[in-house]
Amino acid sequence: MEKKPITVAGNEFPLHSVRVAVVGSGAAALNAAVHLARLGVDDVAIVTERLGAGVSANAGSDKQTYYRLNPADDAGDSARETANRLFSGGCMHGDVALVEASLSLLEFHHLASLGVPFPFDRYGSHAAYRTDHDERARGSSAGPGTSIMMYEKLRDEAKLLGIPVLEGLTVVDIVTVDDTNGRRAAGIIAMGGVSGAGAPYNLCAIGADYVVLATGGPGALYADSVYPASQAGSLGAAVASGAVAQNLSESQFGIASKRPRWNLSGSYQQALPRYYSTAPDGGGEREFLADCFPSVEALLAAQFRKGYEWPFDVKKITGHGSSCVDLLVYYESVVRGRRVYIDYRSNPSFPGSAFGIDVLPAEARDYLERSNAVGKAPVERLLVMNTPAYELFLKHGIDLAREPLEIAVCHQHVNGGLRGDIWWESSVRNLFPVGEANGSHGVYRPGGAALNAGQVGGLRAAQMIAHRVSGKAPEGGDGRSASVRIALKARIRECRRALAAKPADPRAERLELQRRMSRALGILRDPAGIERAIEENAGAMRRHRESGVAAAKALRDFLKNADLLLAERLFLEASRLALSRIEGGRGSYLVGRIGDFLKIDEEGRARTVSPPVLGGMALGEIVELSLGGDGRIDSRVVPVRPIPRETMWFERVWKEYMEGSVYTPD
């Protein structure tokens, strides 16, 4: 990596030049950097807001899953079978599904060989279990902090390989150049860190022939969210640079605690805690779930199943299914504005029936008895089933034996993101979105497929970059310097204007955006609500363009808000188009108004759940979005590509591999 100053508008800014800039430092970024170094690409730098920030390094649940083809499956799992499962989730390209399936084992073993403690038996087979949306056992786990361990092992490996890290930098622009082959990535503009220190507005530039964008999902979009609060990603910057986005209407939502932000799946639900809500001032406590279930057995069965059917799913409402719990929590909190709690000190109650292990449905009773978790209170059952789950909250100062936990139906993962091809390359040449930034998933992704896709994507991007740089001099060039200058000039103008304008509070603006998103694009989506949110978003964008900040230290948040406002607009436009193609709902959201799904009495209590009538789900198509030159968002629908049917003839593959034609498109 080379560093020299660049003069723009009479000021000097640091300019780092590097062959590959890997942006972000979650599990996806670190893995891409490690593979690049191992494949012999010697001028790689990691550029990140902070080592230890992001989802991989922080988030967890009862048990985190890593999804992979299962070599120990008695019925003979295969890459094609696994790809079929990924593809059948809908709105996913078949060739990408095949790559994710084929490389899932290699990447799993890569992690295992780095020391991520995935459990294995005495013969060396890694244990596996079934996750949501799968009929085979393909999930592996090292426990609640699997992604945290992945992050730590990959971080240590990157350090061992001597990959430099530029820390404290928020990427605000992806710089591109236009050449005869179209638009290609040429670097980034970032704000903050040691690199930006001393330069006007803390801006600096990193010129790079290749950019691996692993900035995660735009977690800061929602008020009810289980992402780390600081995680905002860079979707707006990527789309502004010309990258195409896809499937932005698709996310995962589920029940999580608000402080700390933690998914309440697995034993947290199987311990059968009591759910209740209160008015905002704490009065009027009520066990709202009992109003809507026909019997205590039905209520407990739904609560128990929530443990292994964690994400909200429109198909799991019928027959008093587990997703009724999310819908009722959503109604209490988002629609009625009440606060909802989960309480491990006492059992759920039901009019006319007493709680007891004997009234549990057979499935739950059997599970609890086998686990010897038959204690009187939910906290006793939780402690027997999963002591670390109890201790986790204790570490955050919350004793579940003494106090309730406030919860919400939280945004947890974006299935969509930037469009990548089978090498994870975006529509901008040399720009590779990997990890959650890449929206490879469709509607129903099996639990654990996100971590796998992040690892496979990093390897694929590294393989393609290593192939392209092999034996070639760095590109760099005058075109790159000119583009860096233009991008820096635009940012200088914007910062200057913001400091001169009437200051607004970036935090208040962010909160308003987050509340708008939780209202309009949660688990219930109404086309009229989306139109309203689009208007409000346009107003917020206007306000942003006209307002400013009181001091330079607020500039970073101010620019992040602009990125998030564009991301919000993209989510809303994607959902507007997706909703016009489906009936009743799909995956993680219902389409309609609350009254279509809940019968409400005159006191405002939900009394009956009416399951959605699910019509066409448009699972064979993908909504794509791009930004036109005039700032308008173009949205369109494209059909999914099928799973390729190539025969594995060794001599042919060997030849294509040796010639390098495996790297060229069909």
Give me the helices (H) in 139-295, please.
146-160, 193-196, 235-240, 267-270
226 near ligand FAD (CB under 6 A)? yes
- Is position 65 an interface residue for ligand FAD (rule: CB under 6 A)? yes
Query: Of residues 387-446, which lie at the interface with ligand FAD (CB under 6 A)?
Result: 412-413, 435-436
Residue 325 neighbours by CB under 8 Å, 6+ apart: 255, 275, 289, 302, 303, 306
Question: At its nearest, how many Å lie between ligand FAD and the CB of residue 436?
Answer: 4
**111-150: contacts with ligand FAD (CB under 6 A):** 147
> How large is the C-alpha radius of gyration of the chain?
25
- CA 390, 391, 393: angle at the middle one, nearest 5? 75
- In sequence order, what DSSP letters do the residues of 421-454 get, joined into one string? -TT---SSBTEEE-GGGB----S-PPTTHHHHHH
Among 201, 227, 308, 423, binds ligand FAD (CB under 6 A): 227
Stretch that binds ligand FAD, among 112-120, 211-219, 394-402, 463-471 (CB under 6 A): 211-219
Place of tokens 């599904």: 97
Q: Which of 55, 220, 407, 495 binds ligand FAD (CB under 6 A)?
A: 55
Exactly one of 14, 144, 200, 216 binds ligand FAD (CB under 6 A); which one?
216
Stretch that binds ligand FAD, among 92-100, 209-217, 349-357, 393-401 (CB under 6 A): 209-217
In the window 233-252, what residues touch ligand FAD (CB under 6 A)? 233-234
Smallest distance, ligand FAD to C-beta of residue 263, A: 4
- Residue 54 makes contact with ligand FAD by CB under 6 A: yes
Tell me if 23 contacts ligand FAD by CB under 6 A.
yes
Segment near ligand FAD (CB under 6 A), from 54-62, 69-77, 317-325, 594-602?
54-62
CA distance 641 to 636: 16
Pairing of strands 203-213, 11-23: parallel
Tell me how far apart the alpha carbons of residues 236 and 158 are, in angstroms, rounded to a whole number: 28
Residue whose C-alpha is closest to residue 59's, from 256, 208, 203: 256
Residue with Cβ nearer ligand FAD (104 or 303): 104
Interaction between residue 522 and ligand FAD (CB under 6 A): no
Query: Is position 29 an interface residue for ligand FAD (rule: CB under 6 A)?
Result: yes
CA separation for the pair 594, 600 (Å, rounded): 9
Q: What is the nearest approach in angstroms of ligand FAD to the Cβ of residue 91? A: 17
The alpha-helical segments, DSSP class H, found in 88-185 are 94-102, 104-114, 146-160
Query: Toward ligand FAD, which CB reaches closer, 77 or 132?
Result: 132
Residue 12 · residue 199 · CB < 8 Å: yes
- The residue from 378, 454, 585, 587 that contacts ligand FAD (CB under 6 A) is 454
Q: CB of residue 573 vs ligand FAD: minimum separation in angstroms?
A: 22
Strand, coil or helix: 571:
helix
Stretch that binds ligand FAD, among 44-52, 521-529, 577-585, 635-643 (CB under 6 A): 44-52
By the rule CB under 6 A, 448 interacts with ligand FAD? yes
The site map against ligand FAD for 250-269 (x = CB under 6 A) is: -------------x------
DSSP per-residue letters across 465-478? HHHHHTT------H
Per DSSP, the residues of 61-101 read -SSEEEE---TT-TT---HHHHHHHHHTTSS--HHHHHHHH
Kindly give, in sequence order, each residue whose CB lies less than 8 Å from that of residue 109, ignoring residues fewer than 6 positions away.
none
* Among the residue ranges 21-29, 104-112, 119-127, 325-333, the one whose residues contact ligand FAD (CB under 6 A): 21-29
What is the binding site for ligand FAD (CB under 6 A)?
Answer: 23-29, 48-50, 53-56, 59-61, 64-65, 147, 169-171, 214-216, 226-227, 231-234, 263, 412-413, 435-436, 447-451, 454
